[in-house]
Amino acid sequence: MDPARPMRPRTAGETVTVALVVPLQGPAGLFGPSCELSAHLAAEELNTTGGILGREVRLIVMDGGGPPERVAAEVGALVSLGAVDAVVGWHISAVRRTLAPVIAGRVPYVYTAQYEGGERTPGVFLTGEADTEQLLPAMRLLSEATGVRRWCTVGNDYVWPRITARAARRYARALGGRIHDEIFVPLGTEDFGPVLRRIARSEADAVLMLLVGEDAVRFSRAFAAYGLHQRCQRLSTHLDENMLLAAGAEATEGLWAAAGFFETLATRESLDFNRRYAHRFGAEAPVVGSLGESCFEGLRLLAALAERAGTLDVRSMRRVTDSGAEVAYEGPRGLLRLQGNQLRQPLYLARADVFDFHVVAQL
């Protein structure tokens, strides 16, 4: 944090220590740096206005890209030691489902990833987009824009893609189409040849891509090399500008994304956030898309919850949200409000335009 920036007086030596759990390895490690930088920007900006409850925000960065049991054990140990006051971060749903029961009701846990929906563990608050809410309108708009009806789902083999794929079956039928095939591969898959042959045999004209980070990059490269980009559209709810850059220009043709934030989103709030991010970290900093920016939202929601409850005690926060009292803040995604344990936000459909996204509609 910049010591030259003015702060409101706070109790000397007191901090709010947050475990920032973000991917530093594995397929999702591709956008881990943008998660870190976005969270650090949020902490610095909070600290210029008094931190959280008058206490300076301090981040402990932890690797959320390892095996779920190991991540849960490491974070749980810090919570048991009283070393952290809250947990915030982007990590896959397999990690969340393992970690949440370990720390449930002990510290607030703000999960920032887009996910499959339905999380009800006490003390878990969610800033990410729920696929059960954004996927149907995204599939509808893509069908209307391109005429696609024959879908194939390709996802990593864990809870988020599996549950989202089940919802996609219903949505495709509701739109007069059908899921012709579903293919699930392990995290870290490098050879997508068998997958591409199945897509070709299915005669799909659209692929729902539920792959994480580098897996999505490798799939997109192979997809284009196989020539499927000439006949198939692709739609993903897990896609950011870092992944476009990694995939290369040819691999982004016919690629669509649904999310609550894009770097090219031309709202006052998003443009101002991009300006502050660039000013703080420079022109060479990792591109900040929806995945990385979500960690900024996570810190801001934690601060809003604490201010509304008057404490970082997770039981008091739950009483506030259970009572229906308003918890809201204004950030890069606009003025957002918590409904239950889920942040409500505008959602958008965008088309990849080489290395950027062209936002075509609000869902």
Q: What is the pLDDT of residues 6-40, one digit of tens each?
A: 333 334 348 999 999 999 999 999 999 999 999 99
DSSP conformation class of 186: -
Task: Write out pLDDT tens, residues 120-156.
Answer: 999 999 999 998 889 999 999 999 999 999 999 999 9
Amino acid letter at 114? Q
Decide if pLDDT at 163 tops 80. yes
Sheet (strand 150-156) strand order? 178-185, 150-156, 206-210, 233-236, 255-259, 348-353, 356-362
Task: Write out pLDDT tens, residues 256-300.
Answer: 999 999 999 999 999 999 999 999 999 899 999 999 999 999 999
Per-residue model confidence (pLDDT) at position 62: 97
In what helix (H) or strand (E) does residue 81 lie, and over which residues does it extend? helix 68-81
C-alpha torsion sign, points 196, 199, 204, 210? negative
Per-residue model confidence (pLDDT) at position 6: 35
Instruction: Pick the closest to residue 131 from 83, 171, 178 (CA basis).
Output: 171
Average pLDDT over residues 215-225: 96
Cα angle 302, 303, 304; round to 5:
90
- What is the Cα–Cα distance from 229 to 247, expressed in whole angstroms? 13
Per-residue model confidence (pLDDT) at position 175: 94
Are 262 and 359 a contacting pair, CB within 8 Å? yes
Per-residue model confidence (pLDDT) at position 12: 39
How many CB atoms lie under 10 A from the CB of residue 254?
20
Calculate the alpha carbon distances from 294 to 85, 140, 203, 274, 282 in Å. 20, 25, 36, 13, 20
Average pLDDT over residues 40-50: 97
- 74's tokens: 């490491």
Calculate the alpha carbon distances from 222 to 185, 227, 245, 256 in Å. 15, 9, 15, 17
* Contacts of residue 18, Cβ cutoff 8 Å, sequence gap at least 6: 43, 57, 58, 59, 60, 84, 85, 86, 87, 88, 299, 302
Per-residue model confidence (pLDDT) at position 3: 34
Per-residue model confidence (pLDDT) at position 69: 97
Decide if pLDDT at 197 tops 50. yes
Query: Terminal CA-to-CA distance of the chain, rounded, Å?
Result: 37
Q: Is 92 exposed, middle or buried (0-12, 13-18, 19+ CB in 10 A)?
A: buried
Decide if pLDDT at 180 tops 90. yes
Amino acid letter at 325? A
- What is the Cα–Cα distance from 237 to 114, expressed in whole angstroms? 8
Per-residue model confidence (pLDDT) at position 133: 87
Q: Quote the percentage of the chain above a pLDDT of 70.
A: 96
What's the half-sphere exposure (Cβ side, CA atoms, 13 Å) at 217? Answer: 19
Q: Is 299 exposed, middle or buried (0-12, 13-18, 19+ CB in 10 A)?
A: buried
Are 60 and 21 a contacting pair, CB within 8 Å? no
Cα angle 252, 212, 158; round to 5:
140
Dmax (CA) for the chain in angstroms is 66
Decide if pLDDT at 70 tops 70. yes
Decide if pLDDT at 57 tops 60. yes
